[in-house]
Amino acid sequence: MTSEVMPSPNYRCPLCNSSLALKVKTYRCDNNHCFDQAKEGYVNLLPVQHKHSKSPGDNKTMVDARRAFLDKGYYQPLIDEITNLYQEFGDSKATILDAGCGEGFYTHQHKNLTNSIYGVDIAKDAVKIAAKRYKTCNFSVGTLSNLPFNDRFFSWIYSIYAPILEDELSRVLSNNGYLLTVTPAENHLFELKSLIYREAREHNTAKTPITKMTLVKEQRLHYQMDFNNGEDITNLLAMTPFAFKTTPELLTKLKAKTQFSCQADFLIRLYQKDDEN
């Protein structure tokens, strides 16, 4: 029965770059490479050959900490800001990609604004959690250096605290499509860093990894986060690269804290891809 073959031009084979078609929970390309859909609904498009470690990306502990922290709403102002930008520049027919989606927290924020949303991340643990929780989004495991999507498939891409590989992002972005990046601004988590490093440095925000697209808008989002329990602080810490520098003594001290105030400082940039000839 041919009706059970669903064309899915969205995904491409990570081994030979040809389009994948979905047939009874298996994605298959013309060269017969196949990838099974997991019971949670995501598809693993990261071939063993492309893995540089057994479980690349954030581990389960980091993923759990991030989810617990984000669920508390500390980054709600960031969500509001990126939703506003989408409403100003995007459209309801946009096909969205969250590149480096983690456990899907940002991915699903647009579910009421468009109905075609994809998230990709190299960390399988995170993608599994995302797919379980956000059924209306399409999740896959894949690498940002070889995105498992066809050329120009997306009209809106997010890169939130993820590595920004311009050429590959640009390849899957439609002409005149948008790329929104969120990176740490100068004082992001400064107070937390001060507890860990003898001399906490400010983030260097001068360099942008995007050189070929047009910067449409750049804005800074700066606010204070007030914590009243140690668990939220240690969860926040676990999300950061400086978690590895923490001593057990400091961790115990942080856990016992009942008052802590820390700056959130984000740099939000919106780029537009120019017309290709």
Asked if residue 16 binds Zn ion (CB under 5 A), the reply is: yes
Residue choice 29, 172, 173, 267 for contact with Zn ion (CB under 5 A): 29
C-alpha to C-alpha distance for 28 and 19, rounded to whole angstroms: 8
Asked if residue 31 binds Zn ion (CB under 5 A), the reply is: yes
Q: Which residue's entry shows tokens 């311009």?
A: 166
- Count the site residues for Zn ion by CB under 5 A: 6
Cβ atoms within 10 Å of 86's Cβ, excluding its own:
22
Q: Which residue is nearest to Zn ion (CB)?
A: 13
Binding segment toward Zn ion, per CB under 5 A, in 23-31, 73-81, 200-208, 261-269:
23-31
Residue 30 φ/ψ, nearest 5 degrees: -65, -25
Looking at 4-72, list the stretches that DSSP marks H as alpha helix, in order from N- to C-terminal side: 60-71
Residue choice 13, 70, 82, 122 for contact with Zn ion (CB under 5 A): 13
Smallest gap from Cβ 25 to Zn ion, in A, equals 17
Binding segment toward Zn ion, per CB under 5 A, in 22-30, 153-161, 205-213, 253-261:
22-30
Asked if residue 28 binds Zn ion (CB under 5 A), the reply is: no
Residue choice 23, 28, 33, 133 for contact with Zn ion (CB under 5 A): 33
CA distances from residue 110 to 45, 98, 105, 107, 240 in whole angstroms, order as listed: 24, 10, 10, 7, 25
In degrees, rounded to 5, the angle at the alpha carbon of residue 78 between the alpha carbons of residues 73 and 84 is 120
Question: Under the rule (CB under 5 A), what is the footprint of Zn ion?
Answer: 13, 15-16, 29, 31, 33
